Amino acid sequence: MNINLTSHQLQLLLQDAAEMGAIQALSKVGKIRPFLKKSQAFRLYGRKNVEYWIALGLITSRKDGDHSATWRIDRLEAEAINKSSAALHYI
């Protein structure tokens, strides 16, 4: 199976991969948090998108406690889904 990409498409894919690597590295060294609050994810990716991804099971929202605990979303999961859905538009 051959996949033909233009140089522009390859550049965009490599840029996305580099950004994902940077997010992972910054998260591991503690410069950014590995999880986003649900409200932060809504702001970054759009409420409709995040709720859609959760409904499809593409990302998992986690709750720390019982009643008043906030919902968390893995930053890398959300970013990977966001970048892959964007990649579908330019490939």
Write down the pLDDT at residue 91: 67
Percent of the chain with pLDDT over 70: 98
The residue-averaged pLDDT of 68-75 equals 86
pTM of this structure: 0.82
How would you label 59-87 residue by residue, b for 16+ Cβ within 10 Å and e otherwise?
bebeeeeeeeeeebbbbebbbbbbbeeee
Please name the helix (run of DSSP H) or strand (run of DSSP E) that holds residue 74, with its range, or none: strand 71-74
Expressed in angstroms, the distance from the first to the final Cα of the chain is 16
Mean pLDDT of 7-33: 94
